[in-house]
A and B are shown apart, each in its own frame.
Chain A
Amino acid sequence: MPSSVSPSPRRVTGTELVGPYTLLRLERGGLDPGVPGQFFMLEAPGRLLPRPFSLCLAPPGELAFLVDPIGPGTHALCELQAGDEVRVLGPLGHGYRLDVERPLLVGGGIGIAPLPYLAERLGGRPPVLVGFRSAEHAEAAALLPGAEVVLDPVLVTELIEPGSAGLDWEVLACGPEPMLRAVAALCPTAQLAWEAPMACGYGACYGCVVEIDGELKRLCLEGPVLDAARVRVPAEAAVA
């Protein structure tokens, strides 16, 4: 839990379209940007519950989040204008461990969201592999200069077959569940950022459980970034 238990109002400094997504920039104020992979609960204007987002970019004085308008809450966030206010709680949960020697960043779709801030904090321009379902979605790769981009039906995991990328890369990934399971099967030491519906983000609602260490545990407290070995990989993903 951050030092203040109450969400703090933050002014919107601007929004930008990035392909089908919106980059929502907020005034940082006293908020700690946290470790890449940690998340913030953003008030969804007009809705009862806030929505969880990992930090995408931490420009000076700002916090920026990449929002995919998939439902009423995320649509409302994408429609915010500069000068509007939105309540923010965070940073929450556990992010990526940054003490990696040869990081390889892997993202799929909206799952690229935490990678720009992760690349910045790692420094040294780590290699980045990202996959998208369409050319329009792939416009978001502009947030990751130098990234290798593939489009559906090519899978991003095809770029990290053992041998092509080498086995000594330490993979840090975020993306849809099938992608994460495939990455886990290929790279058992990977750090994976998972996603689950969350009402609170701080362990109160018990809504975001995922099978971790063989039992249902709250992702907001255990993750969202987990070592691949902690999440069971079904046999079909391992052979896919």
Chain B
Amino acid sequence: MRILNASGCLDALAAPDVARQLDVFVTKTVTPLPREGSAPPRIAETAHGMLNAIGLANPGRERFLAEHLPRLCELGIPLWVSVGGFSADDYAEMCSRLPPEEVEAAELNLSCPNVDEAADSAAEIVAACRHATELPLYAKLSAAHPDVAEVAQAVAAAGADGLSLINTLRGVALDGLLRPVLARGRGGLSGPSLKPLALHAVSVCHEATGLPIVGMGGIQTGRDALEFAACGALDAALGTVLFADPGAPARVRQELAAACAAAGVASPEDARGLAKSPETERKVPA
């Protein structure tokens, strides 16, 4: 089970020693044009989670390719680029510009909760990107869709090689005077409160597609990561936990071994999909 970061939760250029603990670094989402992002306040802690409304702040495609990508490559960490946009053409153009010798995969951000612009459908975007690049394509989906497995099947049919599950979910937090804490009003909820929703999304999408899945949403410990494996994830990504513990990638990797032993499985791969399998022998406490 590889340990990745969730897109937008780490700046590898600002904190290279944190990024070097990862098996893969995933960039913050890159859009065609530069975006300054949302006005502050942009973050708020909630019960067992946090809200953010960063608003896809990024340097834009051209500056990313010219300035950021070469510096990221120097870090020597396998690199995935998170691609965003407002039309299928936006995504496809960026995918066609990613050098396969430097980038291991493209993650298509089809689910940012902090942009209002209507996008083309997930399957249309994936299909356009499939024509634009040979790179593996991971579709990052939202669990807010009434049937995320249906979306997963559609992007699989359109040529996605894998799924990243899940993105944040929209939420609101209020201050003492009942005003939204975030300047944008609403934001994306992340952290431990997402974990049950994320496990469900991983589970149904694994059953529906069998595609490789990067599971994320509230992973704090090795045990959490193992639960994502048990629901069908091949890899795990860390988001909010990185804010409180920049040493989390190494710690979670270390805890995974102990979590496997405690659960009676040889490895996360061994646990993959166990949670959905009816023939799993359940251990009953003596």
Binding site for B on A (CB under 8 A): 1, 4-7, 43, 47-50, 73, 89, 196-200, 202-210, 215-216, 221
Contact = CB atoms under 8 A, between A and B. Distances in A.
A210 B21 CA distance: 29
Given A200-B243, A207-B54, A209-B42, 19 more contacts: A1-B246, A5-B246, A6-B245, A6-B250, A43-B244, A47-B45, A48-B191, A50-B243, A197-B40, A199-B43, A199-B243, A200-B244, A202-B14, A202-B18, A204-B11, A204-B15, A204-B243, A206-B37, A209-B37
B253 to A, nearest CB: 13
A198 B52 CA distance: 11
8 tightest A-B contacts by CB? A6-B247, A203-B14, A207-B43, A200-B243, A199-B243, A5-B246, A206-B54, A203-B11
A203 B50 CA distance: 17
Nearest to A205: B243
A224 B40 CA distance: 15
Given A7-B247, A204-B9, A48 B49 contact: yes
A48 B246 contact: no
A221 B14 contact: yes
B240 interface: yes
A207 B52 contact: yes
Contacts of B54: 205-207
B105 interface: no
Nearest to A203: B14
Contacts of B11: 203-204, 206
A50 B52 contact: no
B44 interface: yes
A90 to B, nearest CB: 11
Interface string B161-187: 000000000000000000000000000
B151 interface: no
Contacts of B192: 48
A115 B50 CA distance: 31
A209 B41 CA distance: 8
The interface centre, meaning the residue of A47, A48, A207, A209 with most chain B CB atoms within 10 A of its CB, is A48
A79 B45 CA distance: 20
A44 to B, nearest CB: 9
B242 interface: yes
Interface string B233-244: 000000010111
B80 to A, nearest CB: 17
Contacts of A50: 243-244
Contacts of B10: 204
A215 B36 contact: yes
A4 B18 CA distance: 10
Nearest to B11: A203
Q: Interface majority SS on A: helix, strand, loop or mixed?
A: loop
A207 B57 CA distance: 11
Contact of A1 (B18, B21, B41, B250): B18
The interface centre, meaning the residue of A49, A89, A196 with most chain B CB atoms within 10 A of its CB, is A49
Contacts of B251: 6
B10 to A, nearest CB: 5
B48 interface: yes
Contacts of A202: 14-15, 18, 246
B45 A49 contact: yes
Contacts of A197: 40-44
Contacts of B9: 204-205
A43 B45 CA distance: 13
B136 interface: no
12 contacts: A1-B14, A1-B246, A5-B247, A43-B244, A199-B45, A199-B52, A200-B242, A200-B246, A204-B242, A206-B37, A207-B42, A209-B57
Interface in B28-71: 28, 36-37, 39-45, 48-50, 52, 54, 57
B270 interface: no
B212 interface: no
Contact of A48 (B36, B41, B50): B50
A196 B17 CA distance: 25
A206 B21 CA distance: 20
Contacts of A199: 43, 45, 50, 52, 240, 243-244
A229 B15 CA distance: 27
A221 B13 CA distance: 12
A188 B122 CA distance: 51
The interface centre, meaning the residue of A6, A43, A198, A199 with most chain B CB atoms within 10 A of its CB, is A199
Contacts of B8: 206
A35 B38 CA distance: 31
